[in-house]
């Protein structure tokens, strides 16, 4: 029995190294592995999430999990808690909730989740500060049908970024990086010029096939993203 996702991850890696699991082999479902290891399904999902990031397995929504055919070195990163990222850099963290309301998702959000049509979700807009200066502007949609507890969270005191990471594990994640010029509203919030190119991180997460959150995090000029190879 194991309640430690790291032990499950390491056991799967051992089976791969010992050729008990061959390249291309399909793993049992998360529920079956949870029964084998005597743990919660979310513990298995966290282990699989790490194995997918390291390139050991490929996970596909509705397609199961398979050992990769050709393991490769990948640049990986953990979804950061912005507060800890700022404090680790030795800076004072600040947070401001701009708005919180339930709205119908725009088409690009519904498309990001793979939904056939827009639906109502919690829309949260917030600004993270480092040493009282703008750091990251966060435009987030949360599927409160999947995560109803978030409706009871005081998001003026705790960021959705931190609450979701601590309380809502995901099984699948898609990430996009891009650059864009600041809109007048973004420029005002981030103390930038409208012709500044801003670094944008877009993340969409699911638990199995159910949507959790889609966030567009826009960084202030000068932001740096550090990753590691594994």
Task: Name which of 199, 208, 175 is nearest 79 in CA terms.
Answer: 175
Residue in 41, 49, 37, 40 with CA at minimum distance from that of residue 8: 37
Q: Topology of domain 82-224, per CATH? A: Chorismate lyase (3.40.1410)
Domain boundaries, the chain: 5-67, 82-224
Q: Is the pLDDT of residue 73 over 50?
A: no
To the nearest 10 degrees (0 to 180), the angle between helices 41-54 and 30-37 is: 110
pLDDT tens per residue across span 187-221: 999 999 988 889 999 999 998 789 999 999 999 99
Pull the structure tokens for residue 171. 């099984």
- CA gap 217, 146 in Å, rounded: 22
Fold match, 5-67 / 82-224:
no
> What mean pLDDT is predicted for residues 124-137?
97
Residues 10 and 82: their CA atoms lie apart, in Å, by 28
CA atoms of 136 and 216, how far apart (whole Å): 10
Residues in the chain: 230
pTM score:
0.68
Confidence of residue 100 (pLDDT cuts 50, 70, 90): very high
CATH topology of domain 5-67: Arc Repressor Mutant, subunit A (1.10.10)
Q: In this structure, what token pair is assigned to residue 115?
A: 């939904």
Distance CA 160, CA 153 (A): 9
- The closest of 217, 222, 216 to 105, measured between CA atoms, is 216
More confident residue, 150 or 76: 150
Nearest to 114 by CA among 42, 208, 5, 181: 208
3-state secondary structure 128-179: EEECCEEEEEEEEEECCCCCHHHHHCCCCCCCHHHHHHHHCCCCEEEEEEEE
């Amino acid at each position: 029995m194991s309640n430690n996702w790291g032990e499950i991850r390491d056991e799967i890696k051992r089976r791969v190294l010992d050729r008990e699991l061959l390249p291309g082999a399909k793993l049992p479902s998360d529920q079956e592995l949870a029964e084998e290891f005597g743990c919660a399904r979310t513990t298995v999902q966290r282990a699989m999430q790490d194995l997918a990031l390291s390139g050991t397995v490929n996970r596909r929504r509705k397609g199961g999990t398979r050992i990769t055919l050709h393991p490769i070195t990948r640049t990986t990163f953990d979804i950061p808690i912005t507060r800890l990222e700022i404090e680790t850099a030795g800076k004072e963290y600040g947070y401001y909730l701009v708005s919180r309301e339930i709205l119908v998702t725009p088409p690009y959000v519904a498309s990001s989740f793979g939904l056939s049509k827009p639906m109502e979700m919690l829309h949260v807009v917030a600004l993270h500060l480092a040493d009282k200066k703008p750091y990251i502007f966060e435009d987030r949609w949360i599927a409160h049908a999947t995560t109803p507890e978030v409706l009871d969270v005081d998001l003026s005191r705790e960021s959705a970024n931190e609450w979701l990471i601590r309380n809502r594990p995901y099984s699948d994640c898609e990430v996009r990086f891009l650059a864009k010029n600041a809109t007048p509203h973004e420029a005002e919030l981030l103390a930038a010029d409208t012709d500044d190119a801003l670094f944008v991180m877009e993340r969409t997460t699911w638990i199995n096939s159910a949507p959790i959150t889609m966030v567009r995090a826009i960084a202030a000029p000068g932001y740096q993203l550090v990753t590691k190879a594994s």
